[in-house]
């Protein structure tokens, strides 16, 4: 019996092809319920993409959760007394809480899990299937590969606490070399090891080049063993003809308390976010008392639906490929930022013309600029409308966009402060009333202090809230402090120093890394000369 694939939509065709692929490699279908007991996820929230679950209580009083993840359910049903390996594939919807308060999303996933006696053969098979899964979606893909043991070994050499490791890991994931160096200095890490970490971060590229740089950064046996395994995986992929689509990227990281080996992420041209994520997670198996190794990945099919199909849309996409699309914040900061870009050799004469246009192009330099509201820059970059942009650290902290934070431009400097009446002292006896438009920053700051607060969301004229008795204090940006002083207020505490940051869409970076890095390096030189 033949199947008419023309009646299927994009995702359905891909699911059909992937199911056939996984079945050929001996993977069996796995089906699970829409919900599980909450305890399955509650004690391991850090492993989940979104730590919050959608919960409800059943008629027997049990706390249940709409499944935010498939892996846990597969692990729960694993017979770890069986010999060899158990291989399953799945096509399931998962349910996650979104950044928007009270919102949730239903996400379609397909993927595989290989569990049991995991050796190099199983690792190479899973990564090969990851590459073939991406190819089934589009020939124009990138699979970024790393090994958790490389960073783990270096962190061991640095003699870091677990909390310090987590902070550094977060900065590595953002490709934020400035923060990395500052953290290393704060943690008392010597210059030699700090530079090794920067070398690893900069070792992005094809295995033939990147592996040499990583090998030069090895300082102990843990790093060497991880490096050897990474080399073996890359050799196998190269021998199979995948090298042109494979990059080494040490910023591909996952939580070290769960992942212990090869990790990888997949990107498709034309899709603004990653479409595949996976790795080896033996430590998760240990935490749930399973005596087995494990490696697997998930493909996010909702992202796949973003792929452009029509000829007209593809032409637009190709045009975008030829340009570096830059989102600039409107106003004085944006003008200063553009001056830096111009000095870096990415000029666009149109931008100086007196008109009301918002988009400007220089076909010769292949750069396209557009002005947007400062608070919207990160949205344009995260969603892929812009490849790069410049946003204040306050915006990045408040909204946590999924972007790379590449460079501190050392401009637009100010502070995020707690301010109040000069005579006010927080004695901790009552719930602290905090007026702000930076809800998440305020909540995070006071959560770290274990202080009970009442957030009052305001959008402007925040300074008058304590004067009129609406709040005890405010959390707001302070530049000179003159406005506070004129209204009888003063800074009480500095939460964080703010400046403008160069950010990049993660998918754009994979396909335009040379162009983005050349701009970043030129801007870095300008920043250093100015300091």
Contacts of 456 (CB under 8 A, 6+ apart): 433, 434, 435, 436, 465, 470, 471
Distance CA 125, CA 87 (A): 11
Distance CA 402, CA 28 (A): 33
| pLDDT tens sequence across 130-145 | 999 999 999 999 999 9
Give the per-residue pLDDT at 317.
46
pLDDT grade, residue 306 (50/70/90)?
Answer: low
Farthest-apart Cα atoms in the chain, separation: 83
Q: Say what percent of the chain tops pLDDT 70.
A: 92
**Mean pLDDT value across residues 277-294:** 89
For residue 91, CA distances in Å to 13, 45, 105, 374, 417 come to 13, 22, 16, 40, 47
Helix-helix angle 148-158:191-201, to 10 degrees: 170
Give the per-residue pLDDT at 79.
78
| pLDDT tens sequence across 231-275 | 999 999 999 999 899 999 999 998 777 888 999 999 999 888 899
In the predicted structure, residue 53 carries a pLDDT above the cut 90:
no
**Mean pLDDT value across residues 394-413:** 94
Distance CA 25, CA 121 (A): 13
Q: Say what percent of the chain tops pLDDT 90.
A: 65
Provide the 10 A C-beta neighbour count for residue 211. 18
Contact 187, 196 (CB under 8 A): no
Q: Which CATH superfamily is domain 7-140+278-307 in?
A: Bira Bifunctional Protein; Domain 2 (3.30.930.10)
In the predicted structure, residue 318 carries a pLDDT above the cut 90:
no
Give the per-residue pLDDT at 45.
66
Structure tokens at 219: 């300082």
Structure tokens at 223: 């790093």
The mean-pLDDT minimum among 50-54, 150-154, 437-441 falls in 50-54
SS3 524: helix
414-498 domain in CATH 3.40.50.920? no
Contact 245, 176 (CB under 8 A): no
User: pTM (2 decimals)?
Assistant: 0.88
Distance CA 86, CA 258 (A): 20
Contacts of 64 (CB under 8 A, 6+ apart): 35, 36, 37, 38, 55, 56, 57, 58
Contact 58, 51 (CB under 8 A): no
Q: Are 141-268 and 414-498 equal in CATH topology?
A: no
Average pLDDT of the residues of the chain: 88
Distance CA 506, CA 401 (A): 11
Highest-scoring range by mean pLDDT, 36-45, 71-80, 200-209, 480-489: 200-209
| pLDDT tens sequence across 169-190 | 999 999 988 899 999 999 999 9
Give the per-residue pLDDT at 308.
46
In the predicted structure, residue 336 carries a pLDDT above the cut 90:
yes
Contact 531, 165 (CB under 8 A): no
Residue 83, sorted as left (phi over 0), alpha (psi -120 to 50) or beta, turns out to be beta
The mean-pLDDT minimum among 126-130, 242-246, 311-315, 451-455 falls in 311-315
pLDDT grade, residue 304 (50/70/90)?
Answer: confident
Distance CA 209, CA 203 (A): 8
CATH number of 320-411+500-530: 3.40.190.10
**Mean pLDDT value across residues 79-97:** 84
The mean-pLDDT minimum among 8-17, 38-47, 288-297, 389-398 falls in 38-47
Give the per-residue pLDDT at 316.
40
Contact 139, 245 (CB under 8 A): no
Give the per-residue pLDDT at 48.
64
Tell me which residue has tokens 């070792």.
203
**Mean pLDDT value across residues 201-207:** 93
**Domain 141-268's class?**
alpha beta
The mean-pLDDT minimum among 200-214, 296-310, 328-342 falls in 296-310
The mean-pLDDT minimum among 73-82, 417-426, 488-497 falls in 73-82
Give the per-residue pLDDT at 169.
92
What would the 3-class secondary structure string for 96-163 be?
EECCCCCCEEEEEEEEEEEEECCCHHHHHHHHHHHHHHHHHHCCCEEEEEEEHHHHHHHHHHHCCCHH
Residue-range domain boundaries for the chain? 7-140+278-307, 141-268, 320-411+500-530, 414-498
Tell me which residue has tokens 């607060």.
453
Give the per-residue pLDDT at 310.
38
């Amino acid at each position: 019996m033949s199947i008419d694939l023309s009646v299927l939509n994009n995702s359905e065709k891909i699911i059909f092809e992937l199911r056939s692929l996984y079945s050929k490699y001996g993977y069996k279908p796995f089906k699970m319920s829409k919900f599980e007991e909450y305890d399955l996820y509650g004690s391991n929230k850090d492993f989940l993409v979104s730590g919050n679950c959608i919960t409800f209580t059943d008629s027997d009083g049990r706390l249940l959760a709409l499944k935010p993840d498939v892996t846990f359910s597969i692990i729960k049903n694993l017979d770890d007394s069986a010999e060899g390996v158990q291989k399953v594939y799945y096509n399931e919807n998962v349910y996650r809480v979104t950044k928007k308060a009270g919102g949730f999303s239903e996400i379609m996933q397909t993927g595989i899990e290989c569990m049991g006696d995991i050796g190099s053969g199983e690792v190479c098979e899973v990564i090969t299937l990851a590459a073939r899964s991406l190819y089934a979606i589009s020939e124009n893909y990138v699979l970024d590969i790393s090994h958790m043991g490389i960073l783990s070994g270096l962190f061991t050499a640095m003699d870091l606490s677990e909390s310090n490791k987590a902070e550094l890991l977060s900065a590595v994931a953002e490709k934020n070399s400035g923060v990395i160096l500052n953290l290393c200095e704060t943690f008392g890490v010597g210059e030699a090891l700090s530079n090794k970490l920067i070398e690893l971060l900069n070792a992005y590229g094809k295995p033939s080049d990147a592996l040499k740089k990583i090998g030069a950064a090895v300082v102990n046996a843990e790093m060497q063993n991880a490096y050897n395994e990474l080399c073996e995986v890359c050799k196998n992929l190269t021998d199979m003809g995948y090298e042109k689509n494979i990059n080494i990227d040490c910023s591909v990281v996952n939580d070290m308390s769960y992942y212990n080996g090869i990790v990888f992420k997949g990107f498709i041209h034309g899709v603004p976010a990653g479409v595949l994520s996976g790795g080896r997670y033996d430590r998760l198996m240990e935490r749930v008392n399973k005596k087995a190794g494990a490696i697997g990945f998930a493909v996010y099919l909702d992202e796949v639906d973003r792929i452009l199909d029509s000829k007209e849309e593809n032409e637009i996409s190709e045009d975008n490929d030829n340009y570096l699309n830059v989102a600039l914040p409107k106003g004085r900061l944006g003008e200063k930022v553009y001056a830096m870009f111009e000095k870096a050799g990415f000029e666009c004469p149109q931008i100086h013309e007196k008109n009301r246009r918002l988009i400007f192009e220089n076909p010769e330099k292949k750069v396209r600029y557009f002005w947007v509201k400062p608070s919207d820059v990160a949205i344009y970059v995260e969603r892929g409308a812009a490849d790069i942009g410049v946003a204040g650290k306050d915006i990045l902290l408040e909204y946590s966009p999924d972007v790379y934070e590449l460079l501190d431009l050392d401009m637009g400097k100010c502070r995020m402060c707690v301010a109040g009446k000069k005579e006010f002292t927080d004695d901790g006896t009552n719930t602290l009333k905090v007026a702000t438009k930076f809800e998440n920053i305020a909540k995070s700051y006071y959560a770290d202090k274990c202080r009970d607060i009442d957030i009052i969301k305001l959008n402007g004229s925040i300074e008058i809230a304590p004067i009129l008795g609406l709040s005890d204090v405010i959390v707001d940006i302070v530049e000179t402090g003159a406005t506070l002083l004129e209204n009888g207020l003063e800074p009480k505490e500095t939460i964080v120093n703010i400046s403008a940051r160069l950010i990049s869409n993660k998918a754009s970076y994979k396909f335009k890394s040379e162009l983005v890095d050349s701009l970043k390096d030129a801007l870095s030189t300008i920043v250093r000369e100015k300091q």
